[in-house]
Amino acid sequence: MIRRASILLLASMTLASNARAQTWRTIEVSRQLHDTNAITAHLDYAAGHLDLKAAAGNTLYHSSLRYDAERTEPVAQFDSATRVLNLGVHLRGMHMSSGDEKSDAGSMHAELSARVPMDLSLELGAVEADLQLGGLRLTHLTVRSGAAVVTGRFDQPNREQLRTMTLQVGAAHLKLLDVANSRVSRIIAEVGAGGLSIDLGGALSGDVDITATLAVGGLELNVAPDAGVFIEERSFIGGFEKDGFVKKGDGWYTPNYDAAAKHVRVHLHAFLGALSLTRVQK
């Protein structure tokens, strides 16, 4: 009896583990570039692996998706009237995540035109993402990540002035490299319980203002030594290490602040989170 019960239990558990059927599909969507007017692009990717880079040639966008049609739904839509592009994958309703989620979570390779000015927003769920943002013409960039592990790079200079970069991190880890190449002037960072790393490597095109709100998570900021740094802090328990800073009035300054050609100003609101500042030339 016990043996039979064991067999039954094993069969049931095996069956239960196979209960969620999978229907893997691929879809490739693209659109030729007909003009270079600005567009607004939303990329919403719920789960899986994401690669994003600048498109070569005469392409407005190109998306290559592998997805499980049982639980996800691809989105690829460009409204030529409003010039809004929606790309990505939505989850269908609720689904129980399994332990092997990442191994069978699908993938997306997206390319966006390097010839079109673009407001780009990325909504990332349980995603491993590699964002090659260099060479695009970004005017605004928003990255919202829930439980993602994201690495973004500006290996090449952004071909527009990036007016605002908004980074919202839930329980995710978001790492942005060579951000100075983005030609950003204002960064808004909101960190919940995750980690945000901003490397302002590359060539700063001007002063940068950073407003950072940290709940529990941390912000790692790397600024080249030749740039002057000012930090205005409002914190509860968290904060930042003040070694190497001089307090003047309402904020903390690096000694080279007045002499520096480029400045990074940080307005820090920290509850339990902490700002970690490094000064490494890259």
Partner 1 sequence: MRTQYARAATSHVVALALLAIVAGGTKLFAQASPSRISVDSLAKVLAGLRESSDSAWIPAASKFTIGDSTVAANRTITGPVAVAGTLNVRGTIAGDAVSYGGDVIVHQGGAVRGNAYAINGKVTLDGGTVDGDTRALGGDLRQVSAAGGTVARSKTSAMAHALALAGGWLAVLVIVGIGVLIFASTNLDAVADALDRGFGKALLAGVATQIALAPALALLCVGLVLTILGALLVPFAIVAYVIAAAGLVTLGYLAIARNTGRTLLDADAPADGAHRAAALRTMVYGLIVLMLPWFIAGALSWSPRLELIARIFAVSLTWVAATAGLGAAVVSRGGVRRAAAPATERALNTSSWATPTPVSGVTAARRPTPYTASVPK
Closest CA to 69 of 94, 106, 100, 43: 106
Q: Is 79 in the site for partner 1 (CB under 8 A)?
A: no
**Are the beta carbons of 64 and 87 closer than 8 angstroms?**
no
Q: Is 193 in the site for partner 1 (CB under 8 A)?
A: no
Closest CA to 129 of 118, 116, 145, 141: 145
Q: Is 74 in the site for partner 1 (CB under 8 A)?
A: yes
Q: Is 97 in the site for partner 1 (CB under 8 A)?
A: no
Q: Is 13 in the site for partner 1 (CB under 8 A)?
A: yes
Q: 106 or 146, CB closer to partner 1?
A: 106
Question: Binding residues for partner 1, how many (CB under 8 A)?
Answer: 36
Closest CA to 141 of 176, 172, 171, 109: 176
Q: How far is the CB of 138 from partner 1 (least distance, A)?
A: 23
Q: Is 35 in the site for partner 1 (CB under 8 A)?
A: no
Question: Helices H, strands E: what count in the chain?
Answer: 1, 21
Q: 7 or 237, CB closer to partner 1?
A: 7
Beta strand segments in 155-207, E: 164-169, 173-177, 186-191, 195-199
Q: 9 or 280, CB closer to partner 1?
A: 9
Closest CA to 145 of 166, 120, 171, 182: 171
Q: Is 73 in the site for partner 1 (CB under 8 A)?
A: yes
Q: Kindly indicate which of the ranges 19-27, 40-48, 123-131, 237-245 contains the residues binding partner 1, using the contact rule CB under 8 A.
A: 19-27
**Are the beta carbons of 112 and 50 closer than 8 angstroms?**
no
SS3 7: helix
Among 40, 42, 49, 66, binds partner 1 (CB under 8 A): 66
CA distance 90 to 84: 17
Q: Is 69 in the site for partner 1 (CB under 8 A)?
A: yes
Q: Is 21 in the site for partner 1 (CB under 8 A)?
A: yes
Q: 2 or 259, CB closer to partner 1?
A: 2
How far CA 255 is from CA of 13, 246, 247, in Å, comes to 64, 7, 10
Between CA 139 and CA 162, with CA 77 as vertex, the angle to 5 degrees is 5
Q: Is 171 in the site for partner 1 (CB under 8 A)?
A: no
Q: Is 56 in the site for partner 1 (CB under 8 A)?
A: no
Q: How far is the CB of 17 from partner 1 (least distance, A)?
A: 8
Q: Is 12 in the site for partner 1 (CB under 8 A)?
A: yes
Q: Is 26 in the site for partner 1 (CB under 8 A)?
A: yes
CA distance 200 to 180: 5
Among 35, 56, 70, 246, binds partner 1 (CB under 8 A): 70
- Residues of the shown chain interacting with partner 1 in the complex, contacts defined by CB under 8 A: 1-2, 4-5, 7-9, 11-16, 18-19, 21, 23-32, 34, 66, 69-70, 73-74, 76, 78, 92-93
